[in-house]
Homo-oligomer: A and B are copies of this chain.
Amino acid sequence: MAVTIREVASAAGVSVSTVSRAFTSPEQVQPATRQRILDAAAKLGYAPNPAARSLRGGGTGTLGLIVPDIANPFFPPIVKAVQARARRLGYTVLVADSDEREADELETIAAVSKRVDGLILWASTLTEDKLRELAAQMPLVVVNRQVEGVAEVRISLSAGIAQAAELLRAYGHRRCVFINASRAELRRGKSIQESFEALDLSLVELGPYEPRFETGVHAATLVAAHEATAVIAHNDLVALGVLHQMANLGVSVPGDVSVIGIDDTLLASVSTPSLTTIRIDPEEIATRAGDLLIETINGRHTDGPAPCVEIGSRLIPRASTGPAPVG
């Protein structure tokens, strides 16, 4: 059915070896011959069979990306960016969804791992040992996990948090609520608590809850009880729950209460009022994680300690934050 290298070879009047070389290491074949081969290949519509190529040991040309939940609006832009980056570098991307469940994650990894040259694992629920074991078997990059000896991309919210604290402070807020649903990025480095205290802002932590819209709805009703005038939510979705309930309660945002989300998903830019949020740049994560994985595949990091790149964050001020109410 499909046209093979052999047909191209006979069409160009050369051997299969030469055709193979014309594609994989062009400098080893005479320009004239090479051109003849390329023409023949183009005319026949030849494209190398990836299965045969990877069977021979050339790798699969595919990168695996496993995320906890594709339907979480945080991930689609990242998936998209990883795909774009990978394609530029000659790779395809196999995306899978671990459904946030450990059993599924192992199954997903098993299904994917034989088809890819390396894996990006986002916020894996696996144990450190398991991850190390996996890293020994294949190139691996973890995001939002810290495990000795495994290449890592780390997201740091501290810059964004600090900017949020500054903004709230400048607006005259003194008391703030944080709706927590356990973000790994926050457990490292300076805690959000410290960032706020440094600016003489008091912070009440609620939760941990599930990172859902309803969590925001629920938590919003607690804000008044804590006499807080600002809310930082676990993510944009939760922040939208807060916005929703504030509207129900007749509380004005940002008139009475300021609300800040995290992630800068689509949700933040299209809400009413539009949501001030802490942005983590998907392009940057995608580029760094993708490049790191490809470097690992190419054996760039076999010596020395496992590399670790840190991705920063920054505040995107929008309409959900404003001056604290007077009195």
Contact = CB atoms under 8 A, between A and B. Distances in A.
A73 B266 contact: yes
How many copies of this chain sit in the oligomeric assembly?
A: 2
A219 to B, nearest CB: 15
A52 B55 contact: yes
A37 to B, nearest CB: 19
A70 interface: yes
Contacts of A75: 76
A213 B80 CA distance: 20
Interface of A is mostly: helix
Residue of A71, A73, A115, A270 with most partner-chain B CB within 10 A: A270
A36 interface: no
A97 interface: yes
Given A55-B55, A237-B270, A270-B237, A97 B83 contact: yes
Given A51-B60, A76-B76, A111-B92, A71 B272 contact: no
9 contacts: A51-B55, A69-B80, A72-B76, A73-B76, A92-B112, A237-B266, A240-B270, A241-B270, A272-B272
